[in-house]
Amino acid sequence: MTLEILTSDALADVRHGFFTRRGGASSGVFTGLNCGTGSTDQKDIVAINRARVADAMGVQVDHLAGVHQVHSADVITVTGPMAEKPRADGLVTSTPGLALTVLTADCQPVLFADTTAGVIGAAHAGWRGALDGVLEATVAAMENLGAARGAITAVIGPSISQRAYEVGPEFMDAFLAEDHEYARFFVQGEGDRLQFDLPGFGLSQLRNAGVGHAEWTRHCTYSDPGRFYSYRRTVHEKEADYGRLIAAISL
């Protein structure tokens, strides 16, 4: 099976892709393109999957730049291949030939570009990182490299949708403690349960940060097991582990 790569017309001027699980070498619960080196999948198989991604992006494998994701608002500037992955959740660069990557399995993979300035970014934005400001921090780091906020395009890739994201009242309390206006990203579910709109929250944060264009591809990771890995679905189905989707962008 060939790789399935979702792209956005809004980023048509830069090589990018939100890779689905289709076209990979992994098997079992990881069946497909599992690019998660932190999973319990076979390391050599994950390496084959990552090599396929590098080939699709037109870069060497060691030019796939990624970070050790920790649900933070920390962003690093990448200037070349990295021997080790720093702890962060956002990456920016103005160096051609590098592919910035993030791994997700329900969280938001967000790709950024100011093609006029020649600056790109990528962010892993789960609820914690998004609430703490990783998207705004990525925009600011791009600005430090010469990007103009109004010229930045940001695209949120496959993420868990509101209908699939059930949370408890204490979850909403964490958001309301920051801003009572955030109540608009929650709708009532059954009993005391609520449904949280993660992509809607991400889009709001991006627009408030002043980017010129922001969109979501409108793919739900939880609802399409044939195409996407989902941490929450794995928990509900009591599976031992889960694969990680990769998103990439390069100059």
- The full set of domain ranges for the chain reads 5-161+197-250
Query: What's 71's DSSP letter?
Result: S
CA distance 243 to 222: 13
Query: With 80 as the cut, is the pLDDT of residue 239 above it?
Result: yes
Give the pLDDT mean for 187-193: 94
Question: Strand 213-216 relative to strand 245-250: parallel, antiparallel, unpaired?
Answer: unpaired
Question: Strand 186-188 relative to strand 90-93: parallel, antiparallel, unpaired?
Answer: unpaired
End-to-end Cα distance, the chain: 27
- Band (144; pLDDT cuts 50, 70, 90): very high
Average pLDDT, the chain: 97
Give the pLDDT mean for 216-238: 97
Tokens at 106, concatenated: 């329900």
Give the pLDDT mean for 202-222: 98
Q: Number of C-alpha atoms within 13 angstroms, CB side, residue 73?
A: 13
Give the pLDDT mean for 129-153: 98
Give the pLDDT mean for 137-159: 98
* Helix residue ranges, H only, the chain: 43-57, 127-132, 134-144, 169-176, 198-208, 231-236
Query: With 90 as the cut, is the pLDDT of residue 247 above it?
Result: yes
In this prediction, residue 160 carries a pLDDT of 98
Query: With 90 as the cut, is the pLDDT of residue 1 above it?
Result: no
According to CATH, the topology of domain 5-161+197-250 is: CNF1/YfiH-like putative cysteine hydrolases (3.60.140)
102-135 per-position pLDDT tens digit = 999 999 999 999 999 999 999 999 999 999 999 9
Judged on CB neighbours under 10 Å (0-12, 13-18, 19+), 149 is middle
Tokens at 20, concatenated: 């689905």
Q: For the chain, what is the total number of helices (H) and then of strands (E)? A: 6, 14
How many Cβ atoms from other residues are within 10 Å of residue 42's Cβ? 15
